[in-house]
Amino acid sequence: MANKFKLLITLSVLTGIGMISILAIWLYGSYNNRLELFLSSAERSMFNVVQDVYQAHSNDIKREQGGALGTLRKNLRSKYTDAEIDTLFKDLVSSYKGRPFRGDAGMHQDYKQKHLNGKSGGELMAPYLFSQIKISDALIAEIKEKFHSALEAKGVRADYEITTELFPRDSLFAIRKEYRAKKLSWTRPIMIDAVESKFLIVKFKHVWKNLLFDLGWQLGIAILLVSIFIGSFIYLFKTIFRQNRLAEMQKAFVNNMTHELKTPVSTVMTAIEAIQLYGVRHDHEKMDRYLAISRNELDHLSDMIDRVLQLDVDEHTGLKLDKSQVDLIQVLKDAANTFGINVNKQVLISLDLDIPFLSINADISHLRNVINNLLENSVKYSGDPVDIKIAVQEYADHVEFTVSDQGKGIAPEYQKEIFEMFFRVPEGNLHQVKGFGIGLAYVRQVIVQHGGKISVKSSLNKGSTFIIKLPK
């Protein structure tokens, strides 16, 4: 059985680890996808902002433009609009990409050598856009302001900074690879000055906060699934351990019951055998003694059978109660007066009953059994003489009576378990007090079916007090 439990626990743990790992991989992949989408959106916003800035300053460029391009633009204005001329120039630059422009006196020689004959380094902005725009602090500030407005329009509230960096175009891929390897949430460089190889980079800080907010539903589902699994796992093993413990207690109960039933039967058989085989029938004194022994053992056997029969074997219907109006004070007095007759200890029961009459709706037979069980426990687990106190209190909607003793007491860790079926407080390999662990389980069952509650206050070597609350 232990090996099966170990195997079950191992398989469950491995299943849990596998499930959590799959969810973690799923969330990590979703996070990376969101990060890529977030950075791509930021890059598009910056690209659009830079284009808008170029368009805003294009008139200044056109006015200051000289050389062949300036002359060509002046000649074309008689037939075409500025927008059509801009489109024509862009197509012209695209078709001649990789070769210098002849006659473009306004284009810097360094630019023609470094960029038009070079290969693209992965920047977002085409070099020709800012080839003749003067990059100033005011222009950078304008780009930053418009980019901030673009992010606000998309509902992005991220912490970031926009920096300008200088590095060769052919090193862009290596630079991007480096900061991606460092898990930096930076956008791709956007060229703003082709001559000086100046780029704009948006550096986001703590972007994970925004991404986790976007992943809220996925994260919620993952947490829910993990919580359900862990809860089910805990509940499963609590149930398994409880059932295993119950099986052990039932086994101990059967062993104890077998021994307890076998002892009186063996004693009676021995007495009868002595009467039949050894001529005791002619010795009236011995015969009476053997018959008295047999009668006591049979009474003990009958008492044990009654205790077992008191328990309800039907968990669905419970005990069958025959309720009527009962005077609780009288029931307690009768129990106190008759209980000490059949015990082998000196029992002193004191009654603290200030109320002369207290009527409750209860099954008198089961109520008497409850009181007798509590008194018997006090006697069994106390020394000699036994001092028991019974007290009653009346409240607006219920009554409360207590049974207190000065016995050996119950350890705190067992005070809830004593009401479970077959449970007995551990005392090593041998219990000094005989019993089956069913008495208090029966008491709780009766009280609960009456709509009441039972609890215990106890300290080791100082005694126990059982508190019973019953509705009126």
What SS3 string covers 26-69? HHHHHHHHHHHHHHHHHHHHHHHHHHHHHHHHHHHHHHHCCHHH
Q: Which residue has the higher pLDDT, 271 or 355?
A: 355
Question: What is the tens place of the pLDDT at every residue in 297-351?
Answer: 787 677 667 666 655 444 445 667 888 999 999 999 988 887 766 677 888 889 9
At residue 359, the 3 state secondary structure works out as: strand
pLDDT band at 115 (very low <50, low <70, confident <90, very high): very low
What pLDDT is stored for residue 118 in this prediction?
41
Contact at 8 Å (CB) between 336 and 351? Answer: yes
Q: Which residue has the higher pLDDT, 100 or 193?
A: 193
Measured between its terminal Cα atoms, the distance across the chain in Å is 48
DSSP secondary structure string for all residues of 178-235 = HHHHTT--BPPPEEEETTTTEEEEEEEESTHHHHHHHTHHHHHHHHHHHHHHHHHHHH
Q: 205 pairs with which residues across the strands?
A: 159
pLDDT band at 418 (very low <50, low <70, confident <90, very high): confident
Which of 108-112, 220-224, 251-255 shows the lowest mean pLDDT across its residues?
Answer: 108-112
What pLDDT is stored for residue 112 in this prediction?
40
Query: What are 77's two structure tokens?
Result: 């204005």
> For 112, how many CA atoms within 13 A lie in the half-sphere containing its CB?
12
| Residue 98 pLDDT exceeds 50 | no
Which of 13-22, 104-113, 446-455 shows the lowest mean pLDDT across its residues?
Answer: 104-113
What pLDDT is stored for residue 420 in this prediction?
82
Question: What is the tens place of the pLDDT at every residue in 32-80?
Answer: 888 888 888 888 888 888 888 877 776 555 555 555 556 666 677 667 7
Range with top average pLDDT, 47-61, 223-237, 420-434: 223-237
Query: What are 22's two structure tokens?
Result: 């799959």
Question: What is the tens place of the pLDDT at every residue in 154-186?
Answer: 887 788 888 888 878 777 788 777 877 787 888
Q: What percent of the chain has pLDDT over 70?
A: 72
Angle at which helices 2-64 and 82-95 cross, to 10°: 120
Question: What is the tens place of the pLDDT at every residue in 344-394?
Answer: 788 888 998 888 889 999 998 889 889 988 998 888 888 888 899 999 999
What's the whole-number average pLDDT of the chain?
Answer: 76
CA–CA gap between residue 138 and residue 452 (Å, rounded):
82
Q: Which residue has the higher pLDDT, 281 or 366?
A: 366
Which of 22-36, 93-107, 243-257, 303-317 shows the lowest mean pLDDT across its residues?
Answer: 93-107
pLDDT band at 17 (very low <50, low <70, confident <90, very high): confident
Domains and CATH numbers, the chain: 2-214 (no CATH), 216-310 (1.10.287.130), 324-471 (3.30.565.10)
